[in-house]
Chains A and B, each alone.
Chain A
Amino acid sequence: MNIVECTNVKKIYQQDKLEVRALNDVSLSIKKGDFIAIAGPSGSGKTTLLNIIGGLDVADSGRVLVDGNVLSTMSQTELATLRLRKVGFVFQAYNLILVLSALENVEFVMLLQGVPSSERRERAKAILDDVGLSDMYDRRPAELSGGQQQRVAVARAIVSNPSIVLADEPTANLDSKTGASLLEMMEHMNEKKHVTFIFSTHDKMVMNYAHRLVSLRDGQVVDDQVHER
């Protein structure tokens, strides 16, 4: 079953009278439970693609299907609901709400979803334990290392069992060792909870973790291979 289906997706940005084809006819199907990397150099359209799949941005043409929803027909509010219920995001940096503790950051999404508070707390603790932060519940983001912050972000993204987790260069601000352990943790979560991860990167080491590697260049898919594990 395909959890994401992009068909002939195009996105053109207007920059000082110059047209930038950020996505030029991208078609891509992603299976549920996959652990897939979108790879490509800077400016190749990775962020644009993830934003469009996550409903943060809208394609100019083409069709995007996420867990059965046709994004182009949805209103801003419907897209917000989709993000809340079905999409988890991990950004490159500044993922967390600064005034909330790690635990509260994870709880926050469930609060928005209307999960009762005791259940919220239980689930948030469990997921933080899963990502290896069992003794950091009460730390504020400023008191966590970059790698720990990204772990909290991953915990928050998967806590409500979304259809997909979109991670835009999640390791870009981390050293390679920390990046690798974050990737291992994500892979572990992918296996344990069957969450679909779609992450972008331009780092060879990170690409090696992917079960499937889609390469973008100038807004087009230039390569698509499944890694045997």
Chain B
Amino acid sequence: MYFRLGWRNIWRNPRRTLVIMTAVIIGVWSMIFLGSLMRGIADQMVRNGIATLTGHIQVHHNGYRNDPVIENSMTDPEAVETALKRSLPPDSRWSSRVRVNAIASNARHSSGVTLVGIDPQRETKISFIGGAVIQGRYMNPDSRNGIVVGKALVDKFKTKLGRKLVLMSRDTDGEIASRAFRIVGIFNAETEATEKRFVFVTLPAAQQMLKLEKGISEVSVTLSSQQEVHQVAHDLRAGLPSDKYEIHTWQELLPLVTAVLKMYDGFIYLWFLVVFIAMGFGIVNTILMAVFERIREFGLLNALGMKPGWIIREVLTESFFLLILGMLIGNSLGFLSFFALSGNGIDLSSLAAGMEYFGMSRVIYPIIQGKDVVMANLVVFILGLVVSLYPAVKAARFTPVEALAHT
């Protein structure tokens, strides 16, 4: 009968009920939907970071991370290869690179870049570059002087396919090595910074230019599952002498991303709280209004012998219904907008210029996490009942004589 009473009471004033429910619906919807966008942004950030030549794990010569100079190259790639073959799960992939700072120049412009020498076939499977060429072609494995550069760099240098680009860097003898390459492909990346920063040549071409012989700067590894990262890194560390090699996971390689990820839970729950506070005021006000309109009735209930606790329960039952209904609709809308947008994502390219610094993508694909949905609903439900306590206690405090005199 409490339930019946509560249920009928909320429909006494449908307009007001709709107002509260709308507040709850918008609250829950925005928590779930914007939460999923934030998760999408975070996930994309990690993916971009990993795809932009990071991978899940990297192997370097000791000291390379602090000082990525040519002297910190690995001169014995076979030893690394043997260790990799022993420690990596069968479905993981890896690729060797030469990676040094260089200066790119043509007749009119020059700019600092990162020269990356790659094994074209292996590289396609582990980083973005294989699928990123939009003009010309991807690197040919035995290309001696082909170079693939980013769209933004091409624009900046006012150059195009087929033109020459000169790269300069310090070789193993400490001399300035300089070599002309011809632009064979232009790539497009998630961020302009990436397009301006990286230029790709074949591994042998880079080794030859820098007099590295068989030497390489890094090995990048991708695993089929993120969960394995720490175990595999641990195995690799055990398999390679620590005075010669250093092994890092993507969390260590992308400290900014890792830091942002750590803050994300906090961000999202803070966001939930902000939404709730806005919504909570609406709920309290409206229920308070409803309670004050029914002073007489609460007086009557009190006169009939209903104890304050029961009256509180009665009011809470009403907000229970309002919250549950609002949550049902809010969740449905949240999931609907998620499904509507998860296919094509949300294009933020107009804002991209400002956000690239954070490694954000131009297109965001929302991601729904179970724990966020549970949290959003718990916040609304529990805090919703808690704030309803205030009007409920008010209702229980009306003394019957005053209440009954009230007309």
Chain A residues within 8 Å of B, Cβ to Cβ: 51, 54, 56-57, 76-77, 80-85, 87, 89, 91, 94-95, 97-100, 104, 107-109, 111-112, 156
In the bound complex, do residue A98 and residue B401 qualify as a contact, i.e. CB atoms below 8 Å apart?
no
Docked pose: A3 CA to B348 CA in angstroms: 80
**Among B38-46, B152-160, B304-312, B320-328, which stretch is in contact with chain A?**
B304-312
Quick one: given A51-B401, A91-B300, are A99 and B12 in contact (CB under 8 Å)?
Answer: yes
The interface residues of chain A lying within 8 Å CB-to-CB of B12 are 98-99
**Among B3-11, B101-109, B186-194, which stretch is in contact with chain A?**
B3-11
In the bound complex, do residue A57 and residue B303 qualify as a contact, i.e. CB atoms below 8 Å apart?
no
In the bound complex, do residue A109 and residue B8 qualify as a contact, i.e. CB atoms below 8 Å apart?
no
The interface residues of chain B lying within 8 Å CB-to-CB of A87 are 305
In the bound complex, do residue B307 and residue A56 qualify as a contact, i.e. CB atoms below 8 Å apart?
no
In the bound complex, do residue A56 and residue B304 qualify as a contact, i.e. CB atoms below 8 Å apart?
no
In the bound complex, do residue A95 and residue B300 qualify as a contact, i.e. CB atoms below 8 Å apart?
yes
In the bound complex, do residue B5 and residue A100 qualify as a contact, i.e. CB atoms below 8 Å apart?
yes
Quick one: given A56-B401, A83-B303, A109-B305, are A99 and B310 in contact (CB under 8 Å)?
Answer: no
Shortest distance from the beta carbon of B145 to any chain A beta carbon, whole Å: 86
The interface residues of chain A lying within 8 Å CB-to-CB of B9 are 99
In the bound complex, do residue B5 and residue A99 qualify as a contact, i.e. CB atoms below 8 Å apart?
yes
Docked pose: A135 CA to B195 CA in angstroms: 84
In the bound complex, do residue B1 and residue A80 qualify as a contact, i.e. CB atoms below 8 Å apart?
no
4 new A-B pairs (CB below 8 Å) besides A57-B401, A97-B301, A112-B305?
A: A80-B305, A81-B307, A104-B4, A109-B304
Chain B residues within 8 Å of A, Cβ to Cβ: 1, 4-5, 8-9, 12, 296-297, 300-308, 310, 400-401, 404
A and B contact pairs by CB, cutoff 8 A, 17 listed: A77-B308, A80-B305, A80-B306, A80-B307, A81-B307, A83-B304, A84-B304, A87-B305, A89-B303, A94-B300, A95-B300, A97-B5, A98-B12, A99-B5, A99-B12, A100-B8, A156-B304
In the bound complex, do residue A111 and residue B303 qualify as a contact, i.e. CB atoms below 8 Å apart?
no
The interface residues of chain A lying within 8 Å CB-to-CB of B300 are 91, 94-95, 97
The interface residues of chain B lying within 8 Å CB-to-CB of A85 are 305
In the bound complex, do residue A81 and residue B305 qualify as a contact, i.e. CB atoms below 8 Å apart?
yes
The interface residues of chain A lying within 8 Å CB-to-CB of B400 are 56
The interface residues of chain A lying within 8 Å CB-to-CB of B1 are 104, 107-108, 111
The interface residues of chain A lying within 8 Å CB-to-CB of B5 are 97, 99-100
Shortest distance from the beta carbon of B318 to any chain A beta carbon, whole Å: 11
Shortest distance from the beta carbon of B364 to any chain A beta carbon, whole Å: 47
Docked pose: A111 CA to B304 CA in angstroms: 11
The interface residues of chain A lying within 8 Å CB-to-CB of B310 are 112
Closest to A93 in B: B407
In the bound complex, do residue A83 and residue B296 qualify as a contact, i.e. CB atoms below 8 Å apart?
no
Docked pose: A74 CA to B99 CA in angstroms: 87
In the bound complex, do residue B304 and residue A89 qualify as a contact, i.e. CB atoms below 8 Å apart?
yes
Which of B8, B296, B304, B307 contacts A77 (CB under 8 A)?
Answer: B307
Which of A91, A98, A99, A156 contacts B404 (CB under 8 A)?
Answer: A91
Which of B8, B297, B305 contacts A84 (CB under 8 A)?
Answer: B305
Closest to A85 in B: B305
Docked pose: A224 CA to B8 CA in angstroms: 47
Shortest distance from the beta carbon of B397 to any chain A beta carbon, whole Å: 10
Quick one: given A91-B404, A94-B296, A104-B1, are A99 and B8 in contact (CB under 8 Å)?
Answer: yes
Closest to B306 in A: A112
The interface residues of chain A lying within 8 Å CB-to-CB of B404 are 56, 91
In the bound complex, do residue A112 and residue B304 qualify as a contact, i.e. CB atoms below 8 Å apart?
yes
Shortest distance from the beta carbon of A226 to any chain B beta carbon, whole Å: 30
The interface residues of chain A lying within 8 Å CB-to-CB of B4 are 100, 104
The interface residues of chain B lying within 8 Å CB-to-CB of A111 are 1
Shortest distance from the beta carbon of A82 to any chain B beta carbon, whole Å: 8
In the bound complex, do residue A54 and residue B303 qualify as a contact, i.e. CB atoms below 8 Å apart?
yes
Which of A76, A107, A108 contacts B304 (CB under 8 A)?
Answer: A108
The interface residues of chain B lying within 8 Å CB-to-CB of A107 are 1
Closest to A58 in B: B401
Shortest distance from the beta carbon of B148 to any chain A beta carbon, whole Å: 74
The interface residues of chain A lying within 8 Å CB-to-CB of B296 are 94
Shortest distance from the beta carbon of B28 to any chain A beta carbon, whole Å: 27
Shortest distance from the beta carbon of A152 to any chain B beta carbon, whole Å: 13
The interface residues of chain A lying within 8 Å CB-to-CB of B301 are 97
